[in-house]
Structure 1
Amino acid sequence: MENTRVTSRPALWFLFSIVLVALNLRPSMAAVGPLLSAIRDDIPLSFSLASLLTMLPVMAMGLAMFVGLRVSQRFGDQRTVVFSLLIIGVATVSRLFLDSATQLLLSAVLAGIGIALIQALMPALIKSRFSDHVALCMGLYVTSIMGGAAIGAAFAPLVMEHTGNWRMGLAIWAVLAVLALLFWSTQRAQMPTQNSKASSNGSFFANSRAWLLAIFFGLGTASYTCVLAWLAPYYVEKGWSEQQAGLLLGFLTAMEVLSGLLTPVIANRSRDRRVVLMVLLTLIIAGFCGLILSPQHLSLMWPCLLGLGIGGLFPMSLIVSLDHLDNPLRAGGLTAFVQGIGYLIAGLSPLLAGIIRDQLGSFEWAWWSLTAVMALMMLMVLRFNPRHYTRHIH
């Protein structure tokens, strides 16, 4: 298969369609945090139960990731993305008619399944279609995912305020699914053809490097899911309004978008990603320390540091995984495994933070725990020497 230049018009159009699809992968989760107090006024939810609204879709994403590549092989990438967008759209719009915590949780799980099917196939699709520009295109794709989170977090409280209904603040994001469907349906001719069957995810279960990459991705994503679930409620407890807390989360995710765009460009200069990863983890640690020690002073500084760190860490974790293998299908299988295990790990973090909040009456201990996790990840980064990749995964 010939490499396609990103500068050609069909390639740019295809990349734009990927961006629109990626925008659908987080609003269903990101809109919940800023509206949580309004939801809890209407539907009885403890913090532990409310954490399931973020945890369950992330866990569903992890489990569905293991079948995502097989589904896309059986039905084709084009149809798999269409089907997944329909699932996300239906799950999102169903929130207009919710009356119980169970229904809310079911809608979250359904959205998580649709999200996972897309996220399982996209890295292989990007590596196959844009093999000369993998880091840049992965950066744009992952940045668009975080951009969707920023849109959901920042505008869900505004929608609730204008409509007087938190359900509308959760359901309106189905519009993004419709928009993505319209554009993606025109891309059939641009889909890369795969001549061989994708490698089974199972082949990576016995590989220690695949597990290291998966744990690294999972721990990094744990900081993302925890902040997504609890930053807004944390500041609402500090006396901020839902709208102010939602805008703060929107600002954090805007910083994630900025970092997600710039970090892969900087990292693209060298195949050794370790220095960049160390800088990103340092930013996250500084952000969590500020959030704990001085949440009301320099209150924009801490989300800024967290956003810059988390926003770069997310794409770089996947890029490091893709670096290990040259074959797009095999690399896609590895990233599906990494995301599958990783999201199962990350899905537990909002629940643990919610339990900590219920038991100890404060989110600070959750932030301290995540700070320790980031320090552990710094030790893991030292193992990612590109000269040794072929030794670990053949």
Structure 2
Amino acid sequence: MSSMQARLLFPVTMLLVGINLRPTIAAIGPLLDGIQHDTGLSDSGASLLTALPVALMGICLLGTGRLQQAIGRQRGVAAGLAFIGLACLARWVWPGVGTLLATAILGGVGIAMVQALMPAIIREQAGSRSAGLMGLYSTVIMGGAMVSAAASPWIGNLGGWPVALGIWALPVVAGLSVWLMLGPVSKTGNASDGLAIHKKARSWLLLAFFGFGTGGYTLMLAWLPPFYTQLGWPSTTAGAMLGVLTFAEVIAGIAVSLWINRFPDRRPALLLAIAALLTGLACLCMAPLALAWPAAILVGLGIGALFPLSLIIAMDHGTNAAEAGAIAGFVQGGGYLLAALLPLIAGLLRQALSDLTPAWLLMAGLCVVLAGMAWRFRPGDRISLSA
């Protein structure tokens, strides 16, 4: 395949890769009641099915530079997809508590490998269009969550929860096959010095911003459906609500990808996203039944814009593809470790109080913190890795 053909096909291939980065996590929530019933998992144990892969994503992403040097971007993405596919397949063939926890780790490592390497590839391929393409990539990731969250309870009703968790190996096979056929799309590149990144105060600000914002995403993936099944909703309706939330995320992500290149100052978009998330959380706290669907839409719009915007502002701070990839890897690495805490805290609160409202209140407080952080991201800010 010529380099021109590869460049033209890259956006399509990127979408086929990105859509596989959330079903291993997003399919769990709507099926959680059945999984707990069959396996005896407690609320705190069940929270690990989301917290573990998110934490592993963070740990692996902190080693982005070493991963890039060891196996290269192209092979790293392929290996990550293979791990995700194996995790899904194992859940289908060997259902059980041990398998669920082991595949949470394996899937988290696979997702981390792909997410660590794709930002640099996108920056290298897209150049000045990288913000828009990064927004589209992030939107497709959320689209994978939407489809799996909405479909998994229906598949579970037909074939059982092991089938509903394992069937997501099929799109992984498709994505991996196309990625391998595409051939080389990226130079190996030189990884930027990770030690230089962690010495910069701005790096930690970006990390915290990404972590708190993504914490809202992982919190909803893990506990929104169980919150509503506890209120009396059937699992299919609760799964549909998560599907509506993720559909709103996709709409917001598409809007970001289409419009963000026109606005060098990202702060108005960031503050609008945070306001939508905060309003949705207020609906969940004050009137969870009466305002359920508006809450899902508002939360989805807020999270859906925050996720790509957080990555875009991180990449904005790099002066070239290697630096942007290294910064994005550091920010995602520590950020996902922070994000993993929220579903775990929510599981502990639910186990102790039989209520998830305190978790929504905690996230609402973090929205106020996020707004203060967002105001500091001025246009033209950079992180100098050479100093």
TM-score (normalised: structure 2): 0.96
Match of 2:133, SS state, is: helix
- Aligned counterpart, 2:150: 154
- Aligned counterpart, 1:381: 374
Q: CA deviation at 1:264?
A: 3.3
1:166 aligns with 2:165: no
Decide which of 247, 266, 284 is 1:291's aligned counterpart.
Answer: 284
- Aligned counterpart, 2:89: 93
- Aligned counterpart, 1:258: 251
How does 1:150-299 map onto structure 2 within 5 Å?
A: 150-163=146-159, 165-189=160-184, 191-194=185-188, 196-299=189-292
How does 1:301-316 map onto structure 2 within 5 Å?
A: 301-316=294-309
2:150–2:243 Cα contact (<8 Å) kept: yes
Cα distance in structure 2, aligned partners of 1:17 and 1:360:
45
- Aligned counterpart, 2:32: 36
Bigger CA drift: 298-307 or 116-125?
A: 298-307
1:324–1:393 Cα contact (<8 Å) kept: no
- Aligned counterpart, 2:57: 61
Cα distance in structure 2, aligned partners of 1:197 and 1:10:
22
Cα distance in structure 2, aligned partners of 1:309 and 1:213:
18
Match of 1:389, SS state, is: coil
1:264–1:316 Cα contact (<8 Å) kept: no
Cα distance in structure 1, aligned partners of 2:122 and 2:385:
23
Q: Which residue type is aligned with residue 177 of structure 1?
A: V
* Structure 2: 5+ residue stretches without partners: none
Bigger CA drift: 171-180 or 93-102?
A: 93-102
1:23–1:146 Cα contact (<8 Å) kept: yes
Bigger CA drift: 167-176 or 95-104?
A: 95-104
- What whole-Å deviation, never above 9, does each CA across 1:26-46 have from its counterpart, x for those lacking one? 000000000011111110011
Q: After TM superposition, where is structure 1 displaced by more than 3 Å over at least 4 residues in a row? A: 97-100, 387-394
Q: 1:187 to 1:249 in 2, by over 3 A?
A: same
Cα distance in structure 2, aligned partners of 1:179 and 1:244:
29
2:138–2:253 Cα contact (<8 Å) kept: yes
Cα distance in structure 2, aligned partners of 1:309 and 1:392:
31
- What whole-Å deviation, never above 9, does each CA across 1:168-225 have from its counterpart, x for those lacking one? 0000000011000111111114x1324x411132221111000000000000000000
Q: Which residue type is aligned with residue 343 of structure 1?
A: Y
- Aligned counterpart, 1:120: 116
Q: CA deviation at 1:308?
A: 0.5
Q: CA deviation at 1:294?
A: 1.1
2:74–2:186 Cα contact (<8 Å) kept: no
Q: CA deviation at 1:152?
A: 1.0
Q: CA deviation at 1:84?
A: 1.1
- Aligned counterpart, 1:351: 344
Cα distance in structure 2, aligned partners of 1:324 and 1:208:
13
Q: CA deviation at 1:76?
A: 2.3
Q: Which residue type is aligned with residue 215 of structure 1?
A: A
Q: Which residue type is aligned with residue 33 of structure 1?
A: G
TM-score (normalised: structure 1): 0.94
- What whole-Å deviation, never above 9, does each CA across 1:323-351 have from its counterpart, x for those lacking one? 11221101110110000000000011100
Cα distance in structure 2, aligned partners of 1:200 and 1:313:
27
- Aligned counterpart, 2:135: 139
Match of 1:130, SS state, is: helix
- Aligned counterpart, 1:329: 322
Aligned residues: CA RMSD: 1.6
2:83–2:110 Cα contact (<8 Å) kept: yes
